[in-house]
């Protein structure tokens, strides 16, 4: 059993392997020790035939996992410590791939914020359970990164232009909306989450999730899909913006404002990434993303974006003109 002050607590309870991301003050943001501890647990449990499922949770009541610790990555970039940057992303993406290849159910209980790297440790598993307090997003363009952790594979495979909308604008999916969109698999009200947790541990059977899951009728995402498809079915920024202007709705104007505020280079990179990811399998997407981190984190926009959003929090980034995205893929 891990020490209680460990940032990832890996324990075994009967047929269940339990993983608790344990940085509640940092909204359970992933750092390298957490990632490496998760990799160690996955390796130990992969061949253990007595283990019937893995249960992944976040400590506290605010977040499942708010993403990777990009503030630390920025510090490493500014210090020229590119070996540490490479280690963080390569180890993180290896864990994403290992979750996808894990031979038994991987159940994530998402109650609170789940962004970026948090989506990466959940979306490749078999069961992604959300409550009404869950909020899922990939907000990387706001910090001049790009949708990573294998979402270059996942997002192009969502319905219509949904993945491109989520990737470019960081659109937030609340609770059951994440099931509607296809990023989550089950909706369970928070008041029943404790019962579900106990049943999973007692029975060691991921199928118990079905007993607690509530139906998800068409809602906000279903209502938005026609407009999303009209506006985000395009591979070029100019075409997307033209379609949004033609849409002439409050929602469309909000999306245009977001696109004008995020990194121009990140928008260009993301469009190219999703275009390529649509034709690749997950391992190839993860390899592509790792290569892309080398160019993107060295681009001035990355340090500036993290500064504006997460360090100084003035939300006033000073972006460079859009770079040729192909040049950053390596």
In 3D space, the residue among 50, 62, 38 whose CA is nearest the CA of residue 104 turns out to be 50
Consecutive H or E run containing 8: strand 8-13
Question: Is residue 68 among the annotated active site residues?
Answer: yes
DSSP β-ladder status, 135-137 and 106-110: unpaired
Extract the tokens encoding 17.
């392997």
Question: Is residue 250 among the annotated active site residues?
Answer: no
Separation CA 282–CA 154 (nearest Å): 8
Q: Cα 215 to the chain's mean position, in Å?
A: 24
Q: What share of residues in the chain are helix, strand, coil (percent, to 5)?
A: 55, 15, 35
Residue of 58, 67, 112, 117 with catalytic role: 117
Q: Is 185 helix (H, G, I), strand (E, B) or coil?
A: coil
Residue 229: CB partners within 8 Å, gap ≥ 6?
Answer: 160, 161
Residue of 58, 67, 68, 182 with catalytic role: 68
Separation CA 156–CA 154 (nearest Å): 6
Residue 271: CB partners within 8 Å, gap ≥ 6?
Answer: 164, 168, 235, 236, 237, 325
Question: Is residue 140 among the annotated active site residues?
Answer: yes
In 3D space, the residue among 144, 202, 148, 183 whose CA is nearest the CA of residue 64 turns out to be 183
Residue of 31, 57, 111, 140 with catalytic role: 140
Which 8-state DSSP code applies to residue 308?
A: I
Question: Is residue 170 among the annotated active site residues?
Answer: no
Q: Which residues are catalytic?
A: 68, 117, 140, 148
């Amino acid at each position: 059993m891990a020490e209680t002050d460990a940032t990832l607590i890996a324990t075994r309870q009967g047929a269940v392997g339990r993983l608790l991301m344990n940085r509640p003050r940092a909204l359970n943001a992933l750092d390298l020790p957490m990632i490496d501890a998760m990799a160690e647990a996955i390796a130990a449990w992969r061949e253990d035939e007595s283990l019937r499922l893995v249960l992944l949770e976040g400590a506290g009541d605010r977040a499942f996992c708010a993403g990777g610790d990009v503030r630390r990555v920025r510090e490493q970039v500014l210090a020229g410590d590119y070996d540490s940057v490479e280690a963080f992303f390569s180890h993180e993406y290896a864990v994403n791939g290992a979750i996808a290849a894990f031979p038994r159910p991987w159940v994530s209980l998402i109650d609170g914020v789940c962004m970026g790297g948090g989506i990466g440790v959940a979306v490749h598993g078999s069961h992604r359970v959300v409550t009404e307090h869950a909020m899922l997003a990939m907000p990387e363009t706001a910090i001049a990164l790009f949708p990573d952790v294998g979402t270059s594979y996942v997002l192009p495979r969502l319905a219509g232009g949904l993945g491109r909308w989520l990737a470019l604008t960081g659109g937030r999916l609340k609770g059951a909306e994440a099931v509607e969109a296809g990023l989550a698999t089950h909706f369970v009200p928070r008041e029943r989450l404790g019962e579900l947790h106990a049943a999973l541990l007692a029975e060691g059977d991921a199928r118990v999730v079905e007993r607690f899951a509530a139906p998800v009728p068409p809602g906000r995402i279903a209502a938005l899909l026609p407009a999303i498809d009209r506006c985000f079915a395009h591979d070029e920024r100019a075409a997307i913006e033209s379609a949004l202007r033609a849409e002439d709705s409050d929602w469309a104007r909000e999306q245009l404002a977001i696109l004008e505020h995020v990194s121009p280079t990140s928008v260009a990179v993301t469009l190219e990434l999703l275009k390529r990811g649509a034709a690749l399998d997950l391992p190839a997407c993860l390899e592509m993303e790792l290569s892309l981190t080398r160019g993107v984190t060295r681009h001035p926009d990355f340090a500036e974006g993290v500064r504006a959003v997460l360090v100084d929090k003035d939300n006033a980034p000073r972006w460079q003109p859009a770079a040729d995205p192909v040049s950053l893929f390596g």
